[in-house]
Structure 1
């Protein structure tokens, strides 16, 4: 009986995929054969159809991610949107995807020398065995770690076993407020906290690359000063709400004995490879800070670190690490950036933006236009499970609207970056959040309430920044 049920489910899944593929084939045929409508040019109409195809492919995952990315490249040429192969793959010339590759490999080296466990040990010592100090220590570490640990997933994998073990040592129960607070924090707040610096994770790296294409090459320090304060305020307000809502403030403030605290399974003997990684991270951070003075592109420091970590006698990285890299997302991001550039270059972004925003309306009042922008960003963001994919598609449309109604391009981009990161209404809207949710400690109702508070807080703080804080940097 169980086998029959599984077979029926498989058939239903296959039927759904066939239905989606039929829609995709129909859209491709429509793009090739249909005459232009609504005053569009042929090229622009085909670009819009390809954008719809891309969104369907990337949200339904009806075919594997890497294959769908290659298909988008092929369709750009088939539909005549990209006249040459080099135009269809121009996103792969962006430093963004290689920055992501380098950051991932640096994170791999950090894990190999157990830097994550070392940081866990430091955190536990700083909390002095207190429940409440440990809880808020996790929160503060989550705010600061993106500066030195360029991967949200690595930070998540570092915290989850430590949170579980601390919860067990304090005898707080299998579904304690401590667990629910800490796990949501390292899932949801980690998602938005990763962009306090553009080197903190994939979304920040992508955003910095898109900003360069927009003509605003912010330095590491400029990005930090403009983004870290509002994001820290958003995270702090949300954390205090969680602390009350989840009743974490009622946790008895137990103390771990020194012997228990030192036996948390954290063995961190400092060895030569560990010191090399620490030196490499400080070198990378230093070059990001002072690089603009010497015209050093931000991609250079992590590439130098990779070479250092692969040196004879160190050998923290090798070809095996490259083979284990997530090449599917590499292809996806490269093709998505290529499509975004094409949409912007051939004028399709302006047409789509004007059409969408003419329906919703626009005004001479900047605040009204700002909130129209917010609504459309959320409508588009809801279609994507990946904030990286969402930002790539939303970016050209939002900038086209900003130019039409007179919003500041830089502030608009910073706005949509924070809003895309803070949109976690469903756990699937963030790869980091879904991993945290799958631990089983997060209740969906609680997740929904907290994510809505995070989103509303983000809108309010970002509006304040747009009107009063970010103009201070002009």
Structure 2
């Protein structure tokens, strides 16, 4: 009898295979099944949308490959008359703004400014509350480094160093609390600023395309207080769920220089980012497009003599998300042009009697829909691209204020992580820390409930005043 065992395919491989089969079936349905209830162009548009959505959900192919295939299918099925029309989503300034923000994040990582911030926590003498210091420094870094995954990768070893420095067990309450914050709460910090990452930029772009433009300052005024409140509440929950992290005595790690200053390159990056923030603030008043300060900042950092950014920095860009965003805008344009989007909204409003519901009940249904869609996506940006246009269109048809509805959707999507695949930062935290899938589920439900509370209070008490001020 052979000792060799049958090598069963992994769960990920099975998921990808199923995704390819379902995506192929969607295209076949659009091409071969005669259209009766809807026009053929609408059926083809829905089929291509389903093809892309299934491949993105199952990670059957790299995002870039799926995006290119989707654009080709739009042309070959006749949904778009030319490739230029099919790729119209890439003409959005949001795509290039996202590229510039990723490059600014790459500049922060290139000069190790993120590691310098992390080292301050470890090297600082007399840190009696290391968990609090960790949480605050992680939130501060979100304002200059848009990638939550990069922040997670930077701070994962710092948690172990802090545990060792203060005599904590690496699998104890301190590490568990810190890694829960790193995976779940860390991405929430990226929502405070419009330039904080993919979810904020995508939401701002969708809101703008719906006819409600928000400046960089508008976004900051509307989002910083609720994001800060949600961040603090979730961090406190992480501490409570894992047991109260012990208070440390005065200590510091050997080998760390607490007096170490910034290098020349780090000072340049700090100065350029500070200048960009000033221009964003000024641009919110004088109507300067937000992409201009970002472009100037990237240009300065790439100038000869500065050299923080180079052609090699492009390899640090998340091209998958950029192609996903551009392709999704193209799909939304074609769904709108063929009438599929309006048809879907009509079906939804018929199935759910929004006009018979109170406004608060209608809001609850739409936000529950946003959460349910988020649960099946591996990235918050992709979930927002799918759900936010539908939520805004339905909300507009029943008289729900669009800006608070969009902001509420962003907060809930950003705070909902119940499965490890929902956010890459959680996968990083699970790999490096003492948390498992059950911890992810339990704490993810806690952060979602916390987001519901913060959204409710913000909608009732804060956003009306803030909107009255900025308008």
CA, structure 1 residues 24+148, in 2 after alignment: closer, same or farther (shift >3 Å)? closer
SS at match of 1:109: helix
Which residue in 2 is equivalent to 1:84? 82
In the alignment, which of 217, 220, 225 is matched to residue 221 of structure 2? 225
Which residue in 1 is equivalent to 2:248? 254
Matched residue pairs, number?
465
Which residue in 2 is equivalent to 1:421? 414
Per-residue deviation at 1:33? 3.3
Which residue in 2 is equivalent to 1:330? 322
Does residue 1:188 correspond to 2:181, yes or no? no
Which residue in 1 is equivalent to 2:287? 295
Which residue in 1 is equivalent to 2:164? 168
CA, structure 1 residues 57+196, in 2 after alignment: closer, same or farther (shift >3 Å)? same
Which residue in 1 is equivalent to 2:146? 150
CA, structure 1 residues 4+285, in 2 after alignment: closer, same or farther (shift >3 Å)? same
Question: How do residues 422-441 of structure 1 correspond to structure 2 at under 5 angstroms?
Answer: 422-441=415-434
Q: After superposition, what is the alpha-carbon deviation per residue over 1:200-238, rounded to whole angstroms, capped at 9, x for unaligned? A: 112112222222212222122211111121222222222
Question: How do residues 64-463 of structure 1 correspond to structure 2 at under 5 angstroms?
Answer: 64-124=62-122, 128-130=126-128, 133-249=129-245, 251=246, 253-257=247-251, 260-261=252-253, 263-264=255-256, 268-362=260-354, 363-463=356-456
The answer to whether the Cα contact below 8 Å between 2:359 and 2:400 also exists between their aligned partners in 1 is: yes
Per-residue deviation at 1:367? 0.7
CA, structure 1 residues 15+468, in 2 after alignment: closer, same or farther (shift >3 Å)? closer
> TM-score, normalising length from structure 1?
0.91
Choose 390-399 or 81-90, whichever is displaced more: 81-90
> TM-score, normalising length from structure 2?
0.91
The answer to whether the Cα contact below 8 Å between 1:377 and 1:394 also exists between their aligned partners in 2 is: yes
The answer to whether the Cα contact below 8 Å between 1:129 and 1:261 also exists between their aligned partners in 2 is: no
CA, structure 1 residues 88+360, in 2 after alignment: closer, same or farther (shift >3 Å)? same
SS at match of 1:9: coil
CA, structure 1 residues 261+351, in 2 after alignment: closer, same or farther (shift >3 Å)? same
**Separation in 1 of the partners of 2:260 and 2:187?**
27
Per-residue deviation at 1:345? 4.3
Q: After superposition, what is the alpha-carbon deviation per residue over 1:388-438, rounded to whole angstroms, capped at 9, x for unaligned? A: 111111122112211222211222211211111111011211122222222
CA, structure 1 residues 343+432, in 2 after alignment: closer, same or farther (shift >3 Å)? farther
**Separation in 1 of the partners of 2:396 and 2:358?**
15
Choose 268-277 or 90-99, whichever is displaced more: 268-277
The answer to whether the Cα contact below 8 Å between 2:120 and 2:258 also exists between their aligned partners in 1 is: no
SS at match of 1:385: coil
Per-residue deviation at 1:37? 3.9
